[in-house]
Amino acid sequence: MDGAKPITIAGIEVPPEQRTPLVEALLRVIAQQQAEIERLRAEIARLKGLPPRPTIRPSTLNQSHPDPAHKKQRRGKRPGSAKRQKTAELIIHETIPLPLEGLPEGTLQNGYEDFVVQDLRIEAHNICYRRLRYLLPDGTSRTAPLPANVQGHFGATLRSYVLYQHHQNLVTQPLIREELLDFGIDISTGQIDRLLTEGHESFHQEKDGLLPAARGVCDYFQADDTGARHRGKNAYTTVIANPFFASFTTTETKSRINFLKLLCVPHEEYVLGEDALVYMEYHGLSASLLTRLAAVVRKGERIVTGEAAWQRQLKAWRIVADEPRRIVTEAALFGTLMRHELYLGQPLLSDDAGQFRILGLLHALCWLHAERSLKKLLAMNPREQEAINRVRDAVWRYYQRLRAYRQSPTLRRKAALERDFERLFTRRTGFVDLNEALRRIHEKRSELLLVLDHPE
C-alpha cells in the first residue's frame, strides 16, 4: 500500500491503512457494479430515445496557460501529412501534348513536365442492338440473339449504379430517379423498384458459390457473428472469411447447428454414419439412443436431403426432446463435413464462442479476443494499473513475434515462442484478477499457438 492515496466511496474516505485484501476485493466489486449500472442506464436512455449523458470536460480556469505565441509554433507535421506523389499510380485515360508556339530558331525540345488533372465523366450510354433477321428457304425467319450479358433494357453498369446508390449510399428511389433523369436516362420509379427487388438470382448464385470456391484455394478460415436486424426482427449475421474473401449470411440463430449448415454449403444433407456416431458419443448422447442409432448405421450409411425430410426422420426415430435432437442434428451435419472431406487440415480461427468449436476441425483462437480479458480488468490503484499495462505490452510484443514467425518459420523460433508463452502466462503479479486472467489464457495454449504448427 506504499504511496497509495485514500479513496472516497459514498462520501466515506478509506485511508490506505484500512485497505485490506478484503476491502480491496469489495472496492473492485463496487467499481465493476457501478460501471455496469452506468452502462445499463445509458442503454435504457437510448431505448427510450432520451438524449445521452453529456461528457463534461474539467474546467481549465485554474490551469496554467502557455504563452499564446507559443501555440503558434509548429510542433511538426500533423499525422498523415507526409508528402507523397499523389498522381504517380493513377491510370491516365488521355494524354494531351501542349507545344509552345513562336519559339526562336534553334530551340531544342528538352523533355516535358506533366500536369495531371483528375476529372469525372458521367453520361448516358445507350446501345441499340440491331438484330439481323433472316428469311430461310422454308419460309421461316430467324433473328440474331442478344449477347448473353444483356438482361432487359437497362445495362449492367446502370443496374449496379442503382444498387450501389440505394444500398451503400442510402439514396431513396425518388432521388435516384431524379438523378438518372438529369443524366439523360429515361426511367420510371417502378422500373427502379424492379431493379432493386427482382432479377437477383445471379447474386445469390455467386454468393452460394463463394465459400465452396474458397475451400479449394484457402489455407485457413476466420469466423465470427454479430447481432443484426432482418425484416424487422432480431437475427444474427455470420461471417466466414480470410484475407482473400468474405461470406456473410444472416440467419435466425447463431447456434452450432446453424454454423455447421453454413460450413456444409452447398450440401443440404444430413449424413448418419460412423463419424456421426463418434460425434454423438463425444457429446454425451444417452447410451440407449446411441445404441438405436448405431443399429441404423450398421444397415448402411443413412443420407437425408433437406431440412423438412430430416425433421420427419427425427420424428420417425422418436427423437423428440430438444437436447437429443440438437446433438443428433449436429452429428449428422458433422457427418456431411466428413463425407465430403471439408475443412480437413484447414484451421478455423475464431473467438472462444462455443458454436465455432467443431469436433475434428483444427481450431485457432483469436489473440484480439483473448487479450480483451486483460483490457477489461479494473485496477483499484496505480500499482495494479501499471501491472496491467506491463502485461498487455508484453502480450502484444509476443503477438508481433508470432506474426514474424508466420512470415519466416524456423524450429528455433518455434521453441523460443513456446518457452516464452509459458513465462508470460504463468507469471505471478500482485494483482489477483490479473493472475486469474493470465491463467485462463494459458489454458487455451494449444489453440492460441496453433500458428506454430500451421504458419500458413
What φ, ψ does residue 159 adopt, rounded to 5°?
-60, -45
Q: Please, how many CA atoms are within 13 Å of residue 376, restricted to the half-sphere of its CB?
A: 12
pLDDT of 206 over the 70 cut: yes
Q: What are phi and psi of 199, to 5 degrees?
A: 70, 35
More confident residue, 133 or 34: 133
Crossing angle of helices 322-339/307-316, nearest 10°? 130
Per-position DSSP letters for 9-36, written without gaps between them: ETTEEE-GGG--HHHHHHHHHHHHHHHH
pLDDT at 34: 83
Q: Residue 343: its pLDDT value, please? A: 87
The answer to whether residue 85 scores a pLDDT higher than 70 is no
What pLDDT was estimated at residue 354? 87
In this predicted model, what pLDDT tens digit does every residue of 424-455 receive, in sequence order?
Answer: 999 998 888 999 999 999 999 999 999 999 88
Element (H, E) at 365: strand 363-365
Residues 6+ apart with CB under 8 A from 439: 425
pLDDT band at 394 (very low <50, low <70, confident <90, very high): very high
C-alpha cell read off for 291: 445404441
Please give the Cα distance from 326 to 319 (Å, whole number).
Answer: 10
Point out the least confidently predicted range of 39-48, 285-294, 397-406, 418-427. 39-48
Q: What is the pLDDT of residues 58-74, one digit of tens each?
A: 655 555 555 555 555 55
- For the entire predicted model, the pTM comes to 0.67
Of the chain, the percentage scoring pLDDT greater than 70 comes to 89
Residue 25 or residue 400, greater confidence: 400
7-9 and 12-14 beta bridge pairing: antiparallel
Predicted pLDDT at 215: 86
269-328 pLDDT, tens digit per residue, is: 999 999 999 999 999 999 999 999 999 999 989 999 999 999 999 999 999 999 999 999
Query: What angle separates helix 432-443 from helix 411-425, to the nearest 10 degrees?
Result: 140
Question: Which grid cell is 136?
Answer: 430461310
